[in-house]
Amino acid sequence: MSHVARLFVEQPLEQGAAVALPEAQSKYLLRVMRLTEGAQVRVFNGADGEWRCSLSIDRKTAVLTPLEQTRAQVSGPELTLLFAPVKKARTDFIVEKATELGVSAIQPVITDYTQSQRVRTDRMRLLAIEAAEQTERMDLPQIEDAAALPKVLAAWDRAVPLIYCDEGGDAAPLAAQSNQLSGKPAGLLIGPEGGFSPKEREMLRALEFVIPITLGPRILRAETAVVSALTLWQSEVGDWQQAPYLPEA
C-alpha cells in the first residue's frame, strides 16, 4: 500500500490553512516516522475529505498545510456495534476490527454475564483513530458511553433492525434474512463470553425489531463473532460491493 503517512486530525482542513499538530502527533511524525520539512502527509478529519498536506516544522511542532483535496468526504453505511466488554486485549481488538469493518458507532453494553465493567472510552477512541488511519476510512466511528443492555434496548429506534448472534440453535443465517435488512441502518449485538442469560434471551426474542442469527456449529469467542457478523452484514447489505480505495504510492 501507500507509504505516505495518513493522519486523522481534529482541526478543519482547507487549502493553504496550516494546521499545527498536538505534541503526540508531532512526535509521531518527526521522531517515529522521521519525516522532514516538505514531506507529504495524507490527512482527514471526518468532515472535509482527505487532503495531501506538506509538512513544515516549528521547533518541536509539526505543521501541516493542505495542498489539495485528494478525496471527497464519504461515509460508510449506518451500522452500530453493541458489544459486551471482555478482557482488555480482546476489547481493544474488537474496537480495531469494528473500525476496519466500517461501523459508524460503537456502543459498549453491560449484560448479565459481562465480566469487565470498566470501559475506557478514551482508549477506545484512540484505537479507532489508529484503525481508521490504516484502513483508508474517511471518518471515525462514534464511541458511546457504556450502558446497561435494558437501557440501550429501551432507547433503541424500533425502525432499525437489531441483529444478535444467538447460540440457541434455532436462529437462521443472516443471508436468509437479508431482505429484512437491506437499505436500512442496523445494529449488531454481540454478547460476552458465556453468551446472554436466559432472561436476556427472552427479553431480546420478545422485541420485534430484534433479528437472531446463527454463526455456525462451532462456539466463537466474542471478538470472532464481532468480525464474522460484521463481515456478513457488510457483504450482504453493506458496502462490500464497492472496490477498495487504493491511494497512489
Instruction: Give residues in contact with a second copy (CB under 8 A).
Output: 1, 76, 93, 97, 100-102, 134-137, 167-170, 173-175, 194-195, 214-221, 224, 227-228, 231-232, 234-236, 238-246
CB of 49 to a second copy, least distance (A): 15
CB of 235 to a second copy, least distance (A): 6
CB of 225 to a second copy, least distance (A): 9
**Which of 17, 176 has the CB closer to a second copy?**
176
Question: Mind giving me the DSSP string for 11-70?
Answer: S---TT--EEPPHHHHHIIIIIS---TT-EEEEE-SSS-EEEEEEEEETTEEEEEEEEEE
**Which of 12, 168 has the CB closer to a second copy?**
168
CB of 108 to a second copy, least distance (A): 20
CB of 13 to a second copy, least distance (A): 21
Query: What does the alpha-carbon distance between residue 2 and residue 63 come to, in Å, rounded to a whole number?
Result: 21
Strands 61-71 and 19-20: antiparallel
Asked if 141 contacts 101 with a C-beta cutoff of 8 angstroms, the reply is no
What type of residue sits at position 173?
P
| Distances, alpha carbon 131 to alpha carbons 7, 74, 114, in Å | 11, 17, 25
**Which of 117, 245 has the CB closer to a second copy?**
245
**Which of 169, 183 has the CB closer to a second copy?**
169
Q: Which residues contact 55 (CB under 8 A, 6 or more apart)?
A: 29, 35, 36, 37, 38, 39, 40, 41, 62, 63, 64
**Which of 41, 103 has the CB closer to a second copy?**
103
